[in-house]
Structure 1
Amino acid sequence: MTPNNNTPSRALQQDARAWSAFTGTKYTSALRQVSSPLAQGLLGPRVSARRLIAVLSDHELIGAQGGVPLLGEDGVRSDSPWHFDGKSDYIQLALITDMLRMFTPTSGAEAAEVGSYSLKHTAEWFLSPHCSYVSNGRLIWAAAALGLPIADPNRDGPNLLIGVSEREHDYVHRMVGSGQTRPQVHHYRPAGYEQLRTVLTRAADGESIPHGWVPPAPVGEPAPFHDWLIRQVGRNDVVGDLAADYSAGVRDSDHRIACTASELLAIFHEVSHSSEAYDTVVSAIAEWIRTEPSTTYIRTEQISGDSHDHRGWGAGSGTTERYEYLCPCGDGTIIEEHDNIPGFREHDVWIACDKCRAEWHFVEGRGVRDWALQPASVSAAV
């Protein structure tokens, strides 16, 4: 007999029977759970109830392997039995699985490093109000069913380490956690973060979510200055200290990555810093330019600009232009002017800041519209 649109598929029926027997739930209740829009796989294939059950027996780390169960509600090596309410257990495990799917899994020689207990709180916060509570054991259970790397380094407590990106997890933990300091930038936001938030709301409203979401391919933007600065961490001088502070800011999502030296200056105008720290930035940029003489020089942020028509002085009409840019220290400006009037064509750019005029020079051989700066120490060494 061919099922109609209201008849559950054979796979759903098999899952419902298996889940009913495993949890002591009525078949109709189990079928209602496995058929829920929230349990159909929001970021990937639906997790099979039979797969979930098999993991508790067969998994190489948490599986009972025919003996005493190793995993309970509170975690591994716990006497806490599973408590199934018969209404939402399978849905909850499916949602935890999708929450874990949004993270980049560790691979190869990378060690699993995110604690299951921390992850279980992240799952609670992210999945609220659809999950009011996520146990440590269920988080581990879902991770095992998903096939994530799992490690048990201490072998003496209920918690395990789960193989997902520590940086991505820290980002989500801080974004959704109550009382957490939120990230200021989003370079560690998981690819599936916004997608899962969107489809979770739609599925909770009963909407069927189409399968086939494909994570966007990572974009490897060149960041030569960032790479160079990170390599300076550990130096026993002011540039090494700057590199360590910068690296910590990137790691904690307090500021963006500085792909270029110009972007490092921009970052320092966005965060609080001392005058000594600014001087160190100038020293680091000068060293970078001397190390990489073919590098792009410094351009600062434009803060204003206008162009006006001018009827001219007898030889025809034209325009005048004036643009202002932030100076490197942030207390003054760089002014660029163009007089495009026939017979009076003039173009000029200058630094309207005494401090920066002493510390920075325009790079020779570049036009007014193509101006760029380099530290005066670099100019003096040429």
Structure 2
Amino acid sequence: MTTNNTPSRAFQQDARAWSAFTGTNYTSALRQMSSPLAQGLLGPRVSARRLIAALHDHELIGAHGGAPRLGENGFRSDSPWSFNGKSDYIQLALITDMLRMFTPTSDSEAPDVDSYSLKHTAEWFLSPHCSYVSNGRLIWAAATLRLPIADPDGYGPNLLIGISERKHNYVRRMVGTGQTRPQATHYRPAGYEHLRAALPQVAAGELITENWVRPEPVIEPAPFHDWLIQQVGRNDVVGDLAGDYSAGVRDSDHRVAHTADELLAIFHEVSHSPEAYDAVVTSIAEWMRTEPSSAPVRTERIGRDSSEHQGWGAGAGTTERHEYRCPCGDGKIIEDHDNIPGFREHDVWIACDKCRAEWRFVERRGVRDWALEPVAVRPAA
């Protein structure tokens, strides 16, 4: 931070330390400290002295008074650091911010994201502000942030970094060339959108004055999802569906089905085999038998029409027609309302032969409050 264009003491100390460590002149080092790109977009500006200390003192990569254990190409690499004196600190600050997107894994979880894979993700994410990220610098930034780090094989240059593999996969697929984009956002890191928006702003010289605050995680109840995941491994159609659904959630190919009707909606959003629909109906029927208090199914509205009507002598009124997708998707559910004095009629029906045989309206619900359940939930006596 600066006041009246005078660098603060912390800036000066960082610049002196970085100048001595990299062989850069003090003015160039101070200029890097003051770059908007290095201000810290998802947290405080990373201290140059803290970066240097990580190479000396970190429990895994630190030299601890001996020969360097981390080089430009990675762990146990003989490659010396190659500092250009113009953007080294800025680059490390950007890599640090990229890693800050991810919540560190817990102490009970073994790190499993390979540093070499992660360094490519960093290149794609930070481009064009940082076109190349070395394996060593990625590990260096992770060590400075105190992310969990593990040595998988005891001899190679790559280390494992303790961030969520699924969140890393989401970012990699979003920014990588030739990648299939994820179709759901449940594994999107909390700081992803903020950092993507802030990078071009600071690259244009703009200082971000509002501190980003990591949101508290919100856990939404997902009883149907939890039940369906528990069916993975069963040797029947429900187990097959559960396996496909679980893989789709894991790979962000579709969203989480908190309720049974959300599974039906997902079914219509993704490619599927003809047999998949039957497995969906069977699974929903079993879920409703397992959890009798579970919510019945409402489908998506796909059309609506309303018109004025002059009436039949007792006054004018309106007619309404609402169309909803039927569960299998090949027909409709029609909801009609004649709001005409003396002729008030309201009705709802399934305009699909297949769905009429497999679904029924839940009893004791009004026409506007209709909901469905599979016939197999309560087979006829």
Q: Which TM-score bucket, shorter chain as reference?
A: over 0.9
How many angstroms apart in 1 are the aligned matches of 2:291 and 2:365?
18
Match of 2:159 in 1: 160
- Name the counterpart of 2:146: 147
CA RMSD of aligned residues (A): 1.2
Match of 1:380, SS state, is coil
Give the structure 2 partner of residue 88 of structure 1: 87
Distance 1:151 1:198 in 2: 32
| DSSP-derived class of the 2:334 partner | strand
Q: Is the 8 A contact 2:17 2:48 kept in 1?
A: yes
Shift of 1:219: 2.1
Q: Deviations over 1:309-361 (max 9, x none)?
A: 21211122222111110000000001011112122111111111111111111
Equivalent residue, structure 1, for 2:308: 309
CA contact (8 A) 2:41 2:211 kept: no
Q: Tell me, what secondary structure is at the counterpart of 2:66?
A: coil
Q: How far off its partner does 1:217 sit? A: 2.1
Partner in structure 1 of residue 196 of structure 2: 197
The answer to whether the Cα contact below 8 Å between 2:307 and 2:319 also exists between their aligned partners in 1 is: yes
Q: Take 1:108 and 1:370, find their aligned partners in 2: how far apart are those partners? A: 48
1:37-91 Cα deviation digits (max 9, x unpaired): 1111111001110001111110001001111111001111111110000010010
Q: Per-residue deviation at 1:379?
A: 3.2
For residues 109-165 of structure 1, the C-alpha deviation after alignment (integer angstroms, 9 at most, x for no partner) is 122111100110011011111111100000000000011111112112111111111
- Any conservation in 1 of the 2:173–2:180 contact (CA below 8 Å)? yes
Alignment of 1:23-42 (within 5 A): 23-42=22-41
- Match for residue 180 of structure 1? 179
Letter in 2 for 1:333: K
The one-letter amino acid paired with 2:52 is: I
Q: Distance in 2 between matches of 1:306 and 1:290?
A: 36
TM-score normalised by L of structure 1: 0.97
Counterpart position of 1:342: 341
Letter of the 2:240 partner, please give it: D
Unaligned stretches of 5+ residues in structure 2: none
Corresponding letter in the other structure for 1:104: T
Asked if the contact 1:42/1:211 (under 8 Å) is kept, the reply is no
Q: Which residue of 2 aligns with 1:265?
A: 264
Equivalent residues of 1:361, 1:379 under 8 A apart: no
Correspondence for 1:113? 112
The answer to whether the aligner puts 1:75 opposite 2:74 as a matched pair is yes
Task: For 2:224 and 2:71, locate their aligned partners in 1 and report how far apart those are by CA, in whole Å.
Answer: 49
Structure-1 residue corresponding to 2:219: 220
Quote the Cα distance in structure 2 between the aligned partners of 1:211 and 1:81. 38
What is the CA–CA distance in structure 2 between the aligned matches of 1:148 and 1:56, rounded to whole Å? Answer: 14
Q: 1:354 is matched with which residue?
A: 353
Aligned structure 1 segments of 4 or more residues deviating by more than 6 angstroms: none
Greater CA drift, 145-154 or 202-211: 202-211
Task: Find the counterpart in structure 1 of residue 254 from structure 2.
Answer: 255
Partners of 1:335 and 1:224 lie apart in 2 by 29
User: For each residue in 1:184-222, what CA deviation from the matched residue of structure 2 results, as whole angstroms up to 9, or x when unmatched?
Assistant: 121111111111111111111111222521022222221
Aligned residue identity for 1:293:
P
Whole-Å Cα distance in 2 between the matches of residues 47 and 289 of structure 1? 53
CA–CA separation in structure 2 for the residues paired with 1:381 and 1:147: 62
- Partners of 1:41 and 1:211 within 8 A in 2: no
CA distance in 2, matches of 1:130, 1:343: 71
Distance 2:338 2:92 in 1: 68
Q: Describe the SS at the equivalent of 2:121.
A: helix
> For structure 1, which segment, 213-222 or 51-60, has the greater mean C-alpha deviation from structure 2 after superposition?
213-222
Alignment match, 1:326? 325
